[in-house]
Amino acid sequence: MASIDDAVLATAGGVILSIEVSAGSRQNRFPAGYNPWRRTILCRVSDPATKGKANAAVLAMIAEVLGVPASSLQIQSGATSSMKKILITGKTRSDIIQRISDLES
């Protein structure tokens, strides 16, 4: 069975988090579930996907949830897609998995 571990990858430059964003949702929520087929953690933001508003909201929310400054996050790929790879510095893969797992429980 797949788990969120599949969506978190350690690299030399930091940790890559694979997420799937639903912009224009009723509420902001991260994590909002897991898509085992795509191996992504779901993220919902109320901001629209225009002029980078949803991307900014995603980064701010993930930074808050993980307890890191927003400057520690960067969209590695998928800036114009719902499928994104977020580079996180300042945390280990196990730190991120533990924090997200705690929130899903």
Count of H helices and E strands in the chain?
Answer: 2, 6
The answer to the question of residue 100 being in a domain is no
Q: Domain of 59: which CATH number?
A: 3.30.1200.10
- Expressed as residue numbers, the domain containing 71 is 4-95
Is the model's pLDDT at 1 over the cut of 80?
A: no
Using 50, 70 and 90 to split pLDDT, how confident is the model at 105?
A: low
Sort residue 41 into left (φ over 0), alpha (ψ -120 to 50) or beta.
beta
Q: Angle at Cα 28 formed by Cα 22 and Cα 30, nearest 5°?
A: 80
In a domain, 83, yes or no: yes
Domains of the chain: total: 1
Q: Write the DSSP symbol of residue 48.
A: -
Q: Could you report the per-residue pLDDT of 48-91, keeping only the tens digit for each?
A: 999 999 999 999 999 999 999 999 999 999 999 999 999 999 99
Give the single-character DSSP code of 47.
S
